[in-house]
């Protein structure tokens, strides 16, 4: 994998990097990869960029893609805790959710990749994946649930290795902890805010399930009458 892990390469996102050419991408991150080895990188923001999908399709049409998705409400809470931890959020969770659209429209250009207030929009996975499915064959894309990776890392990694066409590495099935983990107080969500999020994400989760097919189990929420 491309090193360092942090900061992520973001080559297909950052214009100043991308304009240096694909040869520079290969040289900068993969020049020491032994012949015959599979090589890759992790840049979280690729998922939300149709332009990154287009650029990647132009230069790496046979690439194997892996997207790790977390249940969107838990993802939003983790995002919120991270923003609080880094001094980018002072509102309570419900207010932060209500202000998201306004803040996203006026995000500081220096934070265009961090997007510290993108709590809900980053969980609309089916819509974010659409550009990738239009440009790449279905068998090039593997979508994994974060919860499955955390609960059964060995089985999930075996699926990932099979997708990549590399030998399985059961020795890597240990700690699958989140990178860039948020710390701090737990976030209490009032019932009205949770109900609002569940109402938004429930159909989006079903849309994701329809997109990915029977091999993917979308998240569901307990219906309240």
Predicted local distance difference test score (pLDDT) of residue 225? 43
Q: Render pLDDT for 8-28 as a digit per residue (tens, 0 to 9).
A: 999 999 999 999 999 999 999
d(CA 85, CA 7): 18
Domains and CATH numbers, the chain: 43-212 (3.40.50.300)
Predicted local distance difference test score (pLDDT) of residue 222? 86
Nearest to 121 by CA among 54, 180, 52, 201: 201
- CA neighbours within 13 Å on the CB side: how many for 62? 4
Q: pTM to 2 decimals?
A: 0.91
Burial 188-223 (b: 16+ CB within 10 A, else e): ebeeebeebbbebbeebbebbbebbeeebebbeeee
Predicted local distance difference test score (pLDDT) of residue 181? 62
Predicted local distance difference test score (pLDDT) of residue 170? 74
pLDDT in tens, the chain (225 residues): 998 888 999 999 999 999 999 999 999 999 999 988 999 999 999 999 999 999 999 999 999 999 999 999 999 999 999 999 999 999 999 999 999 999 999 999 999 999 999 999 999 999 999 999 999 999 999 999 999 999 999 999 999 999 999 998 877 765 555 555 666 567 889 999 999 999 999 999 999 999 999 999 999 998 754
- Report CA 177 to chain centroid distance, whole Å: 15
């Amino acid at each position: 994998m491309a090193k360092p892990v942090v900061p992520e390469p973001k080559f297909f996102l950052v214009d100043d990097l991308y304009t240096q050419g694909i040869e520079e991408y290969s040289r900068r991150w993969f020049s020491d990869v032994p012949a015959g080895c599979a090589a890759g990188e992790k840049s979280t923001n690729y998922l939300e960029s149709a332009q990154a999908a287009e650029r990647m399709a132009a230069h790496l049409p046979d690439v194997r893609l892996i997207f790790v998705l977390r249940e969107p409400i838990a993802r939003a809470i983790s995002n919120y805790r991270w923003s609080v931890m880094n001094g980018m959020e002072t509102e309570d969770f419900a207010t932060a959710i209500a202000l998201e659209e306004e803040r996203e429209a006026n995000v500081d250009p220096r934070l265009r990749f961090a997007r510290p207030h993108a709590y809900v929009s980053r969980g609309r996975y089916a819509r974010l994946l659409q550009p990738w499915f239009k440009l790449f064959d279905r068998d090039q894309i593997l979508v994994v649930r974060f919860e499955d990776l955390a609960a059964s890392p060995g089985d999930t990694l075996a699926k990932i290795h099979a997708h990549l066409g590399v030998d399985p590495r059961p020795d890597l099935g240990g700690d699958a902890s989140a990178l860039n983990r948020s710390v701090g107080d737990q976030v209490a969500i009032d019932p009205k805010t949770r109900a609002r999020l569940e109402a938004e994400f429930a159909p989006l989760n079903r849309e994701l399930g329809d997109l990915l097919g029977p091999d993917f189990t979308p998240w569901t929420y307990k219906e309240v009458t």
